[in-house]
Each structure stands twice: as C-alpha cells, then as structure tokens.
Amino acid sequence: MSSGGCSIVWFRRDLRVEDNPALAAGVRAGAVVGVFIWAPEEEGQYYPGRVSRWWLKNSLSHLDSSLRNLGTPLVTKRSTDSVSSLLEVVKSTGATQIFFNHLYDPLSLVRDHRAKEILTAHGITVRSFNSDLLYEPWDVNDEHGQPFTTFDAFWERCLSMPYDPQAPLLPPKRIISGDVSRCPSDTLVFEDESEKASNALLARAWSPGWSNANKALTTFINGPLIEYSKNRRKADSATTSFLSPHLHFGEVSVKKVFHLVRIKQVFWANEGNQAGEESVNLFLKSIGLREYSRYISFNHPYSHERPLLGHLKFFPWVVNEGYFKAWRQGRTGYPLVDAGMRELWATGWLHDRIRVVVSSFFVKVLQLPWRWGMKYFWDTLLDADLESDALGWQYISGTLPDGREFDRIDNPQFEGYKCDPNGEYVRRWLPELARLPTEWIHHPWNAPESVLQAAGIELGSNYPLPIVEIDAATVRLEEALIQMWRLEAASRTAAENGTEEGLGDSSESAPIAFPQDIQMEERPEPVRNNPLHGTRRYQDQMVPSMTSSRVRVEEEETSSVRNSAGDSRAEVPTNVNAQQNAREAVNQGVLHNANRNTRQRHNNTTTFWLRNAAEDSTAESSSSTRRERDGGVVPEWSPPTSNFSDQFVDDENGIGATSPYLQRHPQSHQLMSWTRLPQTGLEAGDVENAISPSGMENIVLWQYMCSFYASYTNIDE
C-alpha cells in the first residue's frame, strides 16, 4: 500500500479491469485508488430504472471482487455532486492525479468538463481516455471537416479510416493500492424492499459482470454469429448476442468485440464462407449504430429531447394517456405489440425487432409523443442507454435526416409473419391466445367466431379489440402530416413577413409533459460562471468550452436553424407559438402563399408514401440491439423492418437506405447542431425563455450549447 501521491481511477460506465485505458494509466503511474460515485440525482428525470439499477449493483460487486484480487478495493461513494465527492476523495487519499474514461451524453460532457476545470484549479492532474468507442466523434468528419449527418456516410468513413481501432488492452497483473484508510466506502442502495422479489427473477436469465460479458461474447462468436444474417430477425429464439447491457455498463469494450469479430471474419473469408462473412458485416453494422448514437449525441446533445429535423415540432401529437396506458400494459389488441410490452415489463428485455414494432406502433399508429416512449424504455430496459434510445426513437419517428419516413406504418400483423411466423413468441407472452391457431395468431379479430370460441377467446373481454384500426391510423397520420406541413409553411411565411421572430420560439409554449405516473422529479442546476479555456492539453477530451463569448459566428445562420436549435422544449408541443402565429396568419390571409408551398410538399409526401408502401424496408442489418441474452450487441436499436405492403420481403438495408427527408424537403429540414448556433451570450430573460421544464435541459447545458465549439485536443491511449 502506498502512503501518498496515488492516482484515482474514476469508474463510471467502464466497469471492467481489461481494456480499461484509465485503469491502465493509473497502474503505470503507481498506486491506485478505484472510485465509483453513485449520484443519480445528477441525471435529472433520467434516474436509472429498477432493472438498470439491479444490473449496476451486481456489476459493481463483480468489479470490486476483481479489483480486490488484483490488490485494491473499489471505494464507493453516495453523492449528489460527483465533482465535490472527487475532491473529498483527493483530500482523504492524497491523490495527485485522476484518470477516467470518456462519456458522450450531454450531462456527462458538462460534468466532466466542470470536473477538469475544478480539479485542475486545485492542482490535480486530470487525464481522460477513449474506452467506449472505436473512434472519437471528433475524429470522424467529412472532407470539409464537418460531422456526418447520415449513418451510411459515417460508417463508411469509420471502416475506411487510415488506422484501425486500437487493440484491446490486457488486464493488469496486479495493482498497488493507494491509502484508503481515511476514505471509507458508503453503502450504496440500489433497490428497495418492494423491488427485491422482482429483481431476484432477473438473476435466472442474466449474469452481470465483466468476466460474464466475455463469456457471452465468446458464446455468441462461436455459436449464433455464423447464422446471424439468417436468424437475427427471429424473436422466438436466442439468435443474437445479448451484449447490449454489458456494453452499456462497459463490462466489455467495443474494441474487443470489434477485433474478435473481425478475426472471425478473416477466418471465414479464408474458408470461403460467404454466409459467415455476411453475418459479420451485419453484426459490425450494429456496432456502427452504437458508435453513431454517441456521435449524434456528441454533435447534437439535445437529440434525446428534441427532433433533429425542425419541422417535426409542428406535428400534432395525440396526448392520450389512455392510449399510453394500453400500450404499456400490452392491451392494444395487436398480439405482437402486446406480447412485446408484456415481455418488457416482466424481463426488462426486448428483441430489437420487437422494439422496432412496438415503438413504430407507438409513434405512427397511436401518434403519441415519441419522448414518452423513449422515457418508458429508459425506465424499464436492462440496457437502457440514453444515446442509443434517442437514436432509435428518432429513427422510428422519422426525425433523423436518414430516418424512416414518418408516413410509413408497420402493420404488426405482417411484422408478426416475419419475426414470429409460428406464433410461439405471442403464445409465450399472451397465454390468453395460446390455443389460437397459427393462421390467426397475429390477427385474431379476423378469426371466425367458431375458432375464437374453441380457443376460449372473447374479443373485447379476455383480449381487447384493436385500439386503433390500421386503416384509420393511416388516414389520421396522413391528415396529421398535412397539418404539420401547413403549419410549418405558415410559420415560415410569418417569419419572412416579420410577424414572427422565427421558427422554434418557445418563450410562451409549454412542452408536452410526461404522464404523471412516469414523471420524475426535476432538479435544474444553478447558473455557473465558467472561465475561458486555457491552452489545449493532450489529456483533455474534446468538448465545447463553456464561455460567455459575445462574438458571433462569421456566417449568420438562417432563422430556422438558429431558433430551432435554440428551442429547448422537451417535446413537440401542439400549441407552440409558431402554430398560434400560423393560425393568425391564416385569418389574415398570409397563408395563401404558404398553402401553395404546402400543397407541393404534401404531393411529394404522398408520392413517397405510396411508393414506399410497395418498397423494401430497412433491414435489421443495422440493428443495434437484438435479443441479447447471448449477445445482442450495441445500440439497442436496429433499423426497421419492412412495412405492411411487403409482407414477406427481406429488408436488408440499414439506416439511410430509404429516401431521406433532407432530399425530399431540403428547405424545411434543418439539422439542429450546436456547431452552428450563433455564438452570442444570453441575457437573463433569454435564458429563462430558452429553458424547458426538463431536468436535462438546465441552464448549464444551455450555456454549454450556445458557447464556442472549440478547445479540442487529442486523447491519450
């Protein structure tokens, strides 16, 4: 044990001892104190859900055991301010250095930036590393040095980088422990008495911990991977890797997954095994989606709060808590949707194809606000991951530049034929339909009365009738899109005529609040004054500096980009000022020209809608999370399945395979990127109007977004 001058390794979502750059740097520097700080209040409304906390509890226990075997314990601290707790640990251990690995969600970026400033001011050396990605977000740009806006271009660039991702690091042979005699651990409570019984069931199916993650990876590579391209869509069997919870908590590094899978690909290529090569390519694409989720979160930090395409803020979402409750309880009348939602509640898990089906149904058929669905997934999934969840829901909602068209509905009946052709998945989770013949299992409302009676089914009694008919939902969605384009055009016209300050002005608009039963307490942080960045340091992570610069960007952005990016509403409201002004414009006759543009956009929308009804849909090839009990890798999302018109056609394309909105409506689809915000300071009133009630969108983050996107440096390791 060392008596002083030790290094602190700050564990977060990197709960492993192998391929951990921060831990390796600490071991090389000398004595080490490993620290984990549990500060869920910092997450605002995104407080970890029950099953996620269960996983974290067990993963930390596994990590502590591994560290003790190497020579040092894991110090755990309960806190409401991670930076303050780090300072306390520094004082009690005499540490002179702190090492940690990067995170890319907006709250972590702000917290880590603040930690570096405060700790450096106290004379502590702070170094951070990449342990979560193949390539850092700032290293992957187009030929003009700008971030990519579509997945295909991003992933192609990753695969053609002039250097390969670094090889994974071996675990340390032993660790010299720093003096922790004056730094006792706090007892961390991750579950209450009411949750223990439910959590006990999870241990039957899952084994958290970094060594168990390695076992799951090995099992997948030596088993299901070779037939992944053929079987990945089957929801009724274990055909995927089940790695996503392990990846979220950093129990296995994505670099290790990538390298081991590529080795397998080379082996199969030498054997001439084309099916194996195709499976590897599809699996690696899912890793690419996980990378892309972090890339999007870094370059568009409000992607979990607002659509990336500005026109979606005019969409007239249906605020119906009855629909929301029926969806959560698996009582929609669509067997595949209901089976998925019941599995989610019972196990904290969903196959990626089922995630696509239930989320598409939520957004397109029920037309509920997509952030409600994303928040429910966050509360109930074992692998709840803010960046991946945001990417998945934005993709399904058509709010990504290369996302699925909003006017495309996936019929759960035909999706059932693809991913559950024998009805075994539905029967497992809907016992009331267990005796129904396979012919009718995905559409019991069409079954003859005699068949229903023989199966003991009384529709509307022991199993609900469809909550919304697909045909009616299709018509309603088309009407909503017409209204969206009309309001968007009217708002643009009003802005051009000077009757409105610009798109996205949220000063008097209220966001669509979360339903009360999933509402989390919001804890906005106070304003902090942050000094200008000093010189670049090799150890620093590339993050925007939090300055109060009054200098504007050289190139003034259009009002649509500036204001939509500044719109900090937590959800797309139906009563935004822009809409109110649009209605006033209608009354004043201003809408005449806007309607002409709207009709043209609507004709385009209808044309693409009809065309895509007969087109192949996007493949799960770019799927991110699959039925990962033995390895559902990465982001928990897969690019969607096909729609109801191409019932039995394989959809083998990924995100971006369909015609992107940017090409169809370039004048209206402006990406909200912090890199292009006007770089002016905010007055007190501006901040007040800009901040939504969401706990994630606090004043600190707003300052963070509106300041210079600068002070980038390279990363160690």
**Among the listed residues 261, 300, 317, the one whose alpha carbon sits nearest the alpha carbon of residue 105:** 300
Residue 629 in contact with residue 343, Cβ under 8 Å?
A: no
CB-side exposure of 158: number of CA atoms within 13 Å?
26
Residue 323: CB atoms within 10 Å: 19
How far is it, in rounded angstroms, from Cα 630 to Cα 626? 10
**Among the listed residues 589, 578, 366, the one whose alpha carbon sits nearest the alpha carbon of residue 489:** 578
pLDDT of residue 544: 36
**Among the listed residues 449, 581, 441, 404, the one whose alpha carbon sits nearest the alpha carbon of residue 506:** 581
**Among the listed residues 86, 97, 85, 100, the one whose alpha carbon sits nearest the alpha carbon of residue 125:** 97
Contacts of 655 (CB under 8 A, 6+ apart): 150, 151, 152, 289, 292, 395, 400, 402, 403, 618, 622, 639
pLDDT of residue 715: 35
**Among the listed residues 216, 208, 298, 239, the one whose alpha carbon sits nearest the alpha carbon of residue 16:** 208
How far is it, in rounded angstroms, from Cα 519 to Cα 514? 6
pLDDT of residue 690: 29
Residue 76 β-bridge partners: 36
pLDDT of residue 444: 96
pTM given for the model = 0.74
> What is each CA distance from 308 to 45, 294, 331, 370, 662, in whole angstroms?
21, 15, 31, 13, 11
> What is each CA distance from 10 to 38, 90, 472, in whole angstroms?
11, 11, 53
pLDDT of residue 285: 94
Contacts of 411 (CB under 8 A, 6+ apart): 470, 643, 644
How far is it, in rounded angstroms, from Cα 689 to Cα 684? 9
pLDDT of residue 419: 92
pLDDT of residue 499: 55
Residue 52 in contact with residue 384, Cβ under 8 Å?
A: yes
Evaluate the CA torsion angle 623, 624, 626, 631 in order and state its sign. Answer: positive
Alpha-helical regions (H) of 381-447: 386-396, 412-419, 424-429
DSSP 365: I
Which tokens sit at 525?
A: 């942080």
DSSP 225: G
Evaluate the CA torsion angle 329, 335, 341, 343 in order and state its sign. Answer: positive
DSSP 101: E
**Among the listed residues 484, 516, 519, 517, the one whose alpha carbon sits nearest the alpha carbon of residue 503:** 484
Residue 248 in contact with residue 383, Cβ under 8 Å?
A: yes
Contacts of 423 (CB under 8 A, 6+ apart): 416, 436, 438, 441, 442
Across the chain, which distance is largest between two alpha carbons, in Å? Answer: 81
446 burial (CB, 10 Å; 0-12 / 13-18 / 19+) is: exposed
Residue 669 in contact with residue 492, Cβ under 8 Å?
A: no
| Mean pLDDT split into 10-residue runs, the chain, 717 residues | 77 97 97 97 89 96 97 97 96 96 93 96 96 96 93 95 93 96 95 88 92 96 91 83 95 97 93 92 95 94 84 90 96 97 93 94 95 93 93 88 82 94 95 96 96 95 95 94 91 75 39 61 32 39 36 31 33 36 39 40 37 34 33 31 34 44 41 34 30 36 36 35
How far is it, in rounded angstroms, from Cα 247 to Cα 14? 9
Phi, psi of 110 (to 5 degrees): -65, -45
How far is it, in rounded angstroms, from Cα 99 to Cα 122? 15
